[in-house]
Structures are given as C-alpha cells and as structure tokens.
Amino acid sequence: MSVYSAGGTSRYITESVNRFDQKNEFFKRARWDSSLKDEAERFYGTVCPRDKQGYKLKDLALRDAAWYIEDAFGHGCRIHNQGMLSWETLSKEQRCIPADLRLDTTDAKATSQDVKRVAILFGASLVGITELNRTWIYSHTYDALTHEHKEFDLPGEYRYAIVLAFQMDYNLVRTSPTWLAQATEGVEYSRMPFTTSMLAQFIRNLGYKAIPSANDTAISIPLAVDAGLGELGRNGLLITKKFGPRVRIAKVFTNLHLKPDNPIEFGAMQFCSICKKCADNCPRQAISSGERSTKPHNISNAENQLKWPVNAERCFSFWSNNEGSCMNCVRSCPFNKPHGRIHDSVRWLIARTRLLDSTFVKIDDLLRYDRKVLSDYWAGE
Ligand code: SF4
Ligand code: SF4
C-alpha cells in the first residue's frame, strides 16, 4: 500500500497489493499463453498494406520506422537492462569526467529542479518525482524474446523514480485506430531510450547511480500518479492535466537525493464517473461503463485496486484484428484536447466544480470530438 502520499495511488488501493509478475502483463502473456496463439501470431506477424486510408504502405512504413530506435536499440518493451536502457555507466575510456567526482546535493529541491530541466531538454514533455513505492516494481521479469522468467528486485538504494511523460501528436491520435496513429506512439517509445538513457548518464556524471526504464522494471502508471503527473482514468491510463491520456510514460530510478512532488487532483477521476466516452468508443467493450471495482477480469489485472479494470483480452483481440494497436480510448477522452483558451477554461472548471461535468460531456458529444478524423497527413490523398 502506498505510504508516500495521502492522495496519489492510495486513492484506489484497497488492501495490500502484491507486486505484479511481468509475465502476466498482456504483451508478455501473448508470447506464452497458448489460448492467445492465433491472435498473437496475427499481431506480431508480417503485416501487409491494405487498400484503405490509414492502412496503406506509406502508413505502415511510417509506423514501423517510428518504432525503429526502440526495436533496434531500446528494448524497453521487451526486458530491462538492454541496449540503450543498460544499467551500466560509460566506461572510463568513454567518459571525460573523473569517476570519483560527486556533486554536493544537500539542497534536494534545487537538485530536483536541475534534473527536471535536463529531462525537458532531453525530450520529456512532463516530469515528476516520487519516492519509489516498491509495490510497483515487478516481482518477476519475463523476456519476450528468450522467454526467460525469473524473480526480480531493484537494489534498495534506488529510492527515487523520476517519471517522464511524452506527449503524442494530437492529429495523429485522432486517426486511431489506423496505423497512422501508431506512428506517434512509436515515436514516443523510441524517444524513451533516447531521453532516459541521457538523463541517467547525466545523473551518473554527477557521481550517483541511475537506471533508465521504459515499460520494463516497474509499472509506470502508478509511479506517474504518485509523482504528480496526473490521475488514473476509466480507460486505465494516466490522465495528465495538460495532455490528458495522450502520453507515454518512462522513468529513471536513482539514488540521487531528490524532493518528491505531491500527487495532483484536478477532477479527472470524478469526471470519469459521469463521462463514459472511452467505454463507448472501445470497439470491443473492453472498458467498463459501470462503477469502479476491485474484481479483476483475468490474470492481467492487478488485484486489490479499486478502479475501472480494462479487459486486456478483449482489447488485444481488437489489436490483433487491426494488426496494430488502438488508441480510441485516448482519442475519445475529453482531456486529450490540445492547449487553447476554451479547452483550458473547461479544464479549469472541471478542477473546481462537479456541477458542469454532464454538460461538458454533452457538448463534447455534440461537437463530435471523440470521432475518428483521418488527417490529410499525406498531402494529395
Ligand atoms: S486500446 Fe482500443 S480496444 Fe483497447 S481498451 Fe482502448 S479503445 Fe478498447
Ligand atoms: S473518456 Fe471520459 S471516462 Fe474515459 S478516461 Fe476520459 S474522461 Fe474518463
């Protein structure tokens, strides 16, 4: 159970939570669960272009190119401590800074500001810090390539998680579930090893330890909630104040003494109890339109958490059929909208009163913000 804040993840933890086995995370499960064999083969297998806007050769080429850095050098969707996400610092020959130098960091607030400034310079859109709640570290790891499954822990000296959110392109997300939408997802997954490895190296250069991490090592969303980046939504995703769920999350673990941020609340979780747009726009009814529940759908849901559990089996069956991912539950979320006077005013009101929630949902419906919009990304088509 979170002991690090009054808000944050303690808002939805009901009892003590067992650490989650990475083998049961759905993308790992699809690699070993024989009941998912056909769907997994379609999802992970060769994909051919279709004669349909958003699914043509250029769309597919863009999507796969966007994932290139993650697939070739990052491996953060596969397993920890590989490629650019290595836990090792550069060798003595590769560094110009003497190894025995160490920055005096008695002012944790100033150090945290420096770290955040560097994270933004290196490509993060949002940065928060939390004292690491070890509940969110995987109990076991599962290598999607070698199928190696083993007990896991992170050394206790890594007391802090710097959590980074990367915003995805609004117009491309609006094309979900096409392959065009997946290009912006791939870009941000490729940005993760780039940004987190450089941030980790910056911290190592100050004389401290740091581990860069994408989807590996620990569950990102609760860490992001505790680090003050947002709230947990009905769609099972982090809802940030600035970009809604239109983000991807990575983190850096460190022993550098930092000042944790407070979790934030801006009405998102309450708004979700009225708004069901993600559930309505899900092609497989994988998102609950009822009340929050502690009851898991299957082994891919964590237990003892009062939230809207997403049925990953249904979700994946659509992804398989689509031969690619889907972001309808991001696209349709009213918090997804870009910065602007009207949208910012609505966000401001949602943070202060519950009285207008259903009106805002109706206006959003009326203006069809949730609909799929196929952008003219490729001019001339
Ligand atoms: S990704 Fe698509 S299929 Fe999966 S839960 Fe979201 S809307 Fe449903
Ligand atoms: S679409 Fe509505 S219900 Fe779903 S996460 Fe967004 S605000 Fe919550």
Q: Where are the alpha helices (DSSP H) in the chain?
A: 26-32, 37-44, 57-66, 68-69, 108-121, 170-173, 179-205, 220-226, 268-274, 277-280, 312-322, 328-331, 341-350, 357-366
Q: Closest ligand to 282 CA?
A: 1
Residue 13 CA from chain centroid, whole number:
19
Read off the tokens for 114.
Answer: 């420096």
d(CA 242, CA 230): 9
Ligand 1 atom closest to the Cα of residue 176 is 2
Give yes or no for residue 186 CB within 6 A of ligand 2: no
Pocket of ligand 2, candidates 234, 238, 273, 281: which has the most ligand atoms within 8 Å of its Cβ, to mutate? 234
Query: pTM of the prediction?
Result: 0.95
Ligand 2 atom closest to the Cα of residue 273 is 3
pLDDT single digits (tens) 192-241 = 999 999 999 999 999 999 999 999 999 999 999 999 999 999 999 999 99
Do 334 and 185 touch, CB atoms closer than 8 A? no
Ligand 2 centroid distance, CA of 174 (Å): 15
For β-strands 140-142 and 149-151, DSSP reports them as antiparallel
Q: Indicate the DSSP class of residue 281.
A: T
d(CA 287, CA 235): 6
Do 139 and 152 touch, CB atoms closer than 8 A? yes
Ligand 1 centroid distance, CA of 27 (Å): 14
pLDDT of 3 reads 37
Ligand 1 centroid distance, CA of 73 (Å): 28
d(CA 248, CA 124): 10
Read off the tokens for 71.
Answer: 């697939």
d(CA 32, CA 144): 9
Which residue's CA is minimally distant from atom 6 of ligand 2? 333
| Cα distances (angstroms) measured from residue 361 to each of 55, 287, 340, 365 | 31, 17, 18, 6
Give yes or no for residue 347 CB within 6 A of ligand 2: no
Rg (CA), the chain: 20
pLDDT of 5 reads 45
d(CA 241, CA 271): 13
Give yes or no for residue 271 CB within 6 A of ligand 2: yes
Give yes or no for residue 225 CB within 6 A of ligand 1: no
Ligand 2 centroid distance, CA of 370 (Å): 11
Give yes or no for residue 328 CB within 6 A of ligand 2: no
Read off the tokens for 215.
Answer: 């989807």
pLDDT single digits (tens) 100-141 = 899 988 999 999 999 999 999 999 999 999 999 999 999 999
Give yes or no for residue 247 CB within 6 A of ligand 1: no
Which residue's CA is minimally distant from atom 1 of ligand 2? 333
d(CA 301, CA 309): 7
Q: Indicate the DSSP class of residue 165.
A: E
d(CA 131, CA 139): 18
pLDDT less than 50: residues of the chain: 1-5
Ligand 2 centroid distance, CA of 116 (Å): 28
How many C-beta atoms surround the C-beta of residue 98 within 10 A?
Answer: 8
Ligand 1 centroid distance, CA of 232 (Å): 16
Ligand 2 atom closest to the Cα of residue 281 is 1
